[in-house]
Structure 1
Amino acid sequence: MEGDVDGVMERPMSIGSNEDGPKGEELNRERDKYDAWHAQKGISRTNAKRKYIEALIETMHRYASTTADARELVAELEFVWDQIKNNSPPSSASSPGRAR
């Protein structure tokens, strides 16, 4: 939702003896988050949302399909996603709230 990570935050670094900075595992998690965000540099918001939804469905397949209700929910999400994923984003002329 913020766009590219550049200009939003710096890559987390070891602070040394400073007690206020992240340490150990927390520092590694923060670096991993930064690196994952940075790896997506330049991607459009629409494509970022598409990738997020695809990752969500994949994760749900892996971890949320232990019950019939969960499997049904994943199937419904996949059905809806299959119906809309190839739709192109609306042009600026047809955006909501814009005069035609």
Structure 2
Amino acid sequence: MHQLSDTQLEALIEEATADAADEDEQLTGFYTMLVDQLAIPFETTVLGTSVTVESVDLTPGSRIIAWCTRGPHRQAIAILDLPLPTPPPDGAAWIHAYRRWAA
């Protein structure tokens, strides 16, 4: 995937947050886009270890997390902190848009 332009990122942010009345609803908009658009599962590397991103979730603390697994182990990692593989999975543009919005 090529790097997204500011215009492309802003268009994705607008799409995710168009009908949102407040920040919680905007967050839900991004979560919905990630669930619908991000190609899961995918492999990535966290702290030098290969993991599988199995799903995304919205926490009560208003964070979007990725559930990562390796063997019997499972750990939540904030989407804001999740390293993306090269090439990134389909739908990763929504992660970039969410990160821009959250900044």
User: Is TM more than 0.5 here?
Assistant: no
Provide the TM-score with structure 1 as the length reference: 0.29
Higher strand share: 2
Provide the TM-score with structure 2 as the length reference: 0.29
Higher helix share: 1
